[in-house]
Amino acid sequence: MSILALIAQQGELKSSALEAVSVANQIAQKADMQLIAVYIGPPLADQLKRLEGFGIEKIVVFESEAVTYYQNDICVPILQKLVTEFDIKVIIGSATSIGKEVCASIAAKLDAELIQDCIEVDWDDGLQAKKPIFAGKIISDISFTNMPAIISVRPNILPVIRNREGAPEIIKREMPHVPHAKSIKNIVREAKSGVELTEAKVIVAGGRGIGGPENWPVLQELCDVMGAALGASRSAVDAGWIHHTHQIGQTGKVVSPDLYIACGISGAIQHQAGMRNSKVVVAINKDPGAEIFSSCDYGIVGDLFEVVPLLTKEMRKLLS
Amino acid sequence: MKIVVLIKSVPDTASIFKVAEDNKFVVIGNPKFIMSPYDEYALEEAIKVKESVSGEVVVVSFGDENALEVMRTALAVGADSAILVENSDADSFTGKGVSKVLAAVIKTLSPNIIFAGKQAVDDDGCQVPERVAEILGISHASAVTRFELQGLTAEADREVEGGYCTMEITFPALCTVEKGINTPRYPTLPNIMKAKRKEIRKMTLEELNLSADDVRPGLTVNSISLPRQERLLKKLEGEIGAQVKQLTSILREEKIGL
Ligand SMILES: Cc1cc2nc3c(=O)[nH]c(=O)nc-3n(C[C@H](O)[C@H](O)[C@H](O)COP(=O)(O)OP(=O)(O)OC[C@H]3O[C@@H](n4cnc5c(N)ncnc54)[C@H](O)[C@@H]3O)c2cc1C
């Protein structure tokens, strides 16, 4: 019996992949199963070294320059075969956009249950997971009663823990050729200087209080100083001030940074659905009655155009 | 072009959610049911495709009687017909079971394209559409932000971490859609009136030849709880400059985000 960790492929190993492997390691130890990992994607080269310390016994590697993006028609048959070959009982992936698609596909093929976006995973005579529902307003604690059991782990919540000796055995295999119905034309990496929202340790977010797209530089400067990612409320997105990829909330991204600085955001429940898991929340708003002040750690009542530049200046001093 | 849209009725996102005394069920005060927001984008995209090449849009849902009103709304917005697999116990089905139900309905329809929201905002399950596609053996793309019909194929963009990718899709295919793909229209009064006369076809699990075994959950909910939220709720005081200094020194001392 073994556990299979899915290593997400984005040209480089993301911390979300290492977090999923850490969870898999912890479950493998508790359940006394061997840990197998699979990687499907462009050559990883020396990045494979970063997968040491997690107690992975074997990494099955399918490398090809042609597969830069998860293609379910290629990956799913590979995973299906591995499940039989290694007697896989548990599959653990990352709840990234691609990771969730892989997990859903393989779950269907195995007729297995799947819980996406887990924030806690444990083993007690079977796999257990905690998952936010209703946009994070409720946490559900669920047990699998059947195997194989599949979960994806929400990025940026669980720690990366290397606590085992030894390096995994690397098994390189030929990428199978599949004539696919969905062909990937190209991948565009957004040429943005910024940090990815879902992996960011600090997020500075702006709402309608920003007043217009011409004012983003006020927040961007603070982002640059703090190495933060720029987020936005839906009102700012719907007003056309910024692209939807920046939206945080129920119909945007769910983020969990160490520090979330909300500027000119009222704190609607749908916005909170996206940032509730932030470790520390700072609110800057000129309305002392704004809802955000009842769910933040530190609040400054004031005009963001006065507060943010001052904060940028202080942070620059502190960090230089 | 035959287009199917998967629709789910969910409690209004602004509802108050509470934990029942047995810690197993969610209690929703005075619930009002709405179409899951991402499904609105899926429906809009389907209607747009239909308008560009002609065809028909069928909305399909699995749910209890609360789904009827939402299906009615879908018809008013522009769907041609609706099928509801009605089950008073629909809430207890997991993604595994629901996808089998929906796939069984869709098999009888043989659509060219299926659109669905990227997730439902009640259970945030993020799996039913992809599972449906796998069961039907058709290709799928998740979280699509642009969909353009190009003759017999379509070009679609999807977000991936750190960017997006463009794909060519051949039919039949399923796409789940992300916010930003379009702006959903509102139903007009004449269309609301017309929708009242359209029939919502109801089906049962028996008609679909699904047994209890096929849809039996492999999960049990041990408990539900409210998220831990211990915010400090500290409003800083003094003039703005002093507040900012106080904040930076807290961040430094507590090593927050540095
Ligand atoms: C189904 C559904 C899904 C939704 N999904 C999302 C979502 O994913 N994300 C999301 O964010 N919202 C979402 N919303 C919308 C949400 O309900 C709110 O409307 C939205 O979050 C409000 O954005 P805001 O805080 O920027 O704007 P407002 O509520 O208008 O707040 C602006 C704030 O800025 C403050 N302000 C103005 N000027 C200044 C200044 N100079 N200095 C300091 N403060 C200032 C004001 O005091 C006010 O508090 C959703 C709504 C629905 C119904």
B244 vs A70: which has the higher pLDDT: B244
Residue pointed to by tokens 């040429």 = A191
pLDDT band at B151, cuts 50/70/90? confident
Q: Compute the average pLDDT of residues B106-134.
A: 97
Mean pLDDT over the full length of chain A: 91
Of the candidates A117, A184, A270, the beta carbon closest to that of B124 is on: A117
In a domain, B239, yes or no: no
Of the candidates A114, A134, A190, the beta carbon closest to that of B95 is on: A114
pLDDT band at A185, cuts 50/70/90? low
Domain with residue B130: its CATH number is: 3.40.50.620
pLDDT band at A187, cuts 50/70/90? low
Residue pointed to by tokens 């359209």 = B198
Alpha carbon distance A49, A17 (integer Å): 14
Residue B13 pLDDT > 90: no
What percent of chain B clears pLDDT 90, i.e. is strictly above it? 80
Query: What confidence score (pLDDT) does residue B137 get?
Result: 93
Q: Compute the average pLDDT of residues A7-32.
A: 89
Q: Compute the average pLDDT of residues A253-279.
A: 94
Of the candidates A280, A296, A306, the beta carbon closest to that of B240 is on: A306
pLDDT tens track for A282-320: 999 999 999 999 999 999 999 999 999 999 999 999 988
Nearest CA to ligand 1 atom 28: A266
Q: Is A175 exposed, middle or buried (0-12, 13-18, 19+ CB in 10 A)?
A: middle
Residue B58 amino acid letter? V
What percent of chain A clears pLDDT 70, i.e. is strictly above it? 93
The ipTM (two decimal places) reads 0.92
DSSP A94-143: E-SHHHHHHHHHHHHHHT-EEEEEESEEEESSSEEEEEEEGGGTEEEEEE
In a domain, B227, yes or no: no
**B33-35 and B9-11 strand pairing:** antiparallel
Residue A203 pLDDT > 90: yes
The CA–CA distances, whole Å, from B19 to A130, A138, A139, A141, B23 equal 15, 8, 10, 13, 6
Query: What confidence score (pLDDT) does residue A144 get?
Result: 98
In a domain, B222, yes or no: no
Residue A184 pLDDT > 70: no
Structural domains of chain A in order of their starting residue, each with its CATH number: 2-173 (3.40.50.620), 197-319 (3.40.50.1220)
Domain count, chain B: 1
Of A69-78, A259-268, B197-206, the one with minimum mean pLDDT is A69-78
Nearest chain B CA: its distance from A149 CA (Å): 9
Residue pointed to by tokens 């009136």 = B193
In a domain, B93, yes or no: yes
pLDDT band at A224, cuts 50/70/90? very high
Query: What confidence score (pLDDT) does residue B28 get?
Result: 86
In a domain, B234, yes or no: no
In a domain, B169, yes or no: yes
Alpha carbon distance B106, B116 (integer Å): 13
Q: And the tokens for A245?
A: 């990829």
Alpha carbon distance A242, A235 (integer Å): 10
β strands within chain A, DSSP E? 2-7, 34-41, 56-63, 88-94, 113-118, 120-123, 127-133, 138-144, 149-153, 169-173, 182-189, 202-206, 229-232, 259-263, 280-285, 298-301
Cβ contact A136–B227 (<8 Å)? yes
Peptide bond just before B184 cis, omega within 30 deg? no
Q: What single-letter DSSP state applies at residue A44?
A: -
pLDDT band at A191, cuts 50/70/90? very low
Q: Compute the average pLDDT of residues A233-254.
A: 94
Interface test with B, best of A300, A308, A319, A320 (most B CBs within 10 A): A300
Mean pLDDT over the full length of chain B: 93
Angle between helices B128-136 and A97-110 (to 10 degrees): 50
Alpha carbon distance A274, B231 (integer Å): 16
pTM for the model stands at 0.85
The backbone torsions φ and ψ at residue B22, rounded to the nearest 5 degrees and listed phi first, read -80, 5
Beta bridge partners of B84: B61, B202
Query: How far separated are the first and last CA of chain A, in Å rounded?
Result: 52
Q: And the tokens for B245?
A: 């200094």
pLDDT tens track for B26-67: 888 888 999 999 999 999 999 999 999 989 999 999 999 999
For residue B27, what are the domain limits?
A: 2-215
Interface test with A, best of B18, B106, B126, B233 (most A CBs within 10 A): B126
| Chain A contact for B221 (CB, 8 A cutoff) | yes
In a domain, B58, yes or no: yes
Cβ contact B13–A250 (<8 Å)? yes
In a domain, B70, yes or no: yes
pLDDT tens track for A85-105: 999 999 999 999 889 999 999
